[in-house]
């Protein structure tokens, strides 16, 4: 089981009046993990820091835009603020022709051997969209072969 691990730091402003990470803000954390895991844009700098899966030439001005077709999320436990980054784990639930399903588990920070709490599980359907032709484009061979390693069962959500 090969997952991409992206540490994502919380901000105190992610916490809402209930004292936990806000439900919509949780999708921002997913977005940040997804971009760091999949975009390979020179302009982001520090490409040495990018994971091996970062092979989409993404970002504004790029040839490919990544459109989000849909998302699903399940909240398992309230996530508190803390100094250490959350451990967002990502994998590919499905490799389609022009789309991929990205799956996530948002976990409590990695602290020694302590067991982690799972705050949320989610999935995003991402469509690769070619700016020049204004239409979806097929995954490249490079994308497909890179991501196949991270293919795992999609999340079985409790409902729907």
| Residue 155 Cβ vs its own copies, minimum distance, rounded to whole Å | 9
Residue among 18 and 132 whose Cβ is closer to its own copies:
18
Residue among 77 and 145 whose Cβ is closer to its own copies:
77
Asked whether position 109 contacts its own copies by CB under 8 A, the answer is yes
Residue among 82 and 97 whose Cβ is closer to its own copies:
82
User: By the 8 A CB rule, do 33 and 90 touch?
Assistant: yes
Task: Specify the pairing of strand 64-75 against strand 135-136.
Answer: unpaired
Asked whether position 16 contacts its own copies by CB under 8 A, the answer is yes
User: By the 8 A CB rule, do 64 and 131 touch?
Assistant: yes
H/E segment holding residue 143: helix 141-148
Distance separating alpha carbons of residues 83 and 105, to the nearest angstrom: 19
Instruction: Say how many residues make up the chain.
Output: 160
Given 5, 57, 63, 80, the residue binding its own copies (CB under 8 A) = 80
User: By the 8 A CB rule, do 63 and 130 touch?
Assistant: yes
Query: Which residues lie near its own copies (CB under 8 A)?
Result: 8-9, 11-13, 15-19, 22-25, 27-28, 30-32, 35-36, 43-47, 49-50, 59-60, 65, 67-75, 80-84, 109, 111, 123, 125, 157-160
């Amino acid at each position: 089981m090969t997952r991409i691990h992206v540490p994502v730091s919380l901000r105190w402003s992610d916490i809402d009046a209930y004292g936990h990470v806000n439900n919509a803000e949780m999708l921002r954390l997913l977005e940040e993990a997804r971009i760091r895991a999949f975009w390979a844009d020179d302009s982001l700098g520090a490409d040495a820091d990018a994971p091996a899966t970062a092979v989409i030439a993404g970002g504004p001005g790029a040839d490919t835009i990544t459109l989000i077709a849909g998302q699903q999320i399940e909240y398992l436990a309230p996530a508190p603020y803390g100094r250490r980054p959350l451990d967002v784990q990502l994998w590919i639930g499905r490799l389609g022709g022009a789309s991929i399903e990205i799956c996530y588990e948002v976990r409590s920070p990695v602290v020694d051997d302590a067991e982690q709490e799972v705050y949320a599980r989610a999935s995003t359907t991402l469509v690769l969209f070619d700016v020049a032709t204004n239409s979806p484009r097929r995954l490249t061979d490079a994308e497909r072969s890179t991501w196949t390693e991270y293919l795992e069962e999609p999340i079985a959500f409790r409902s729907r």
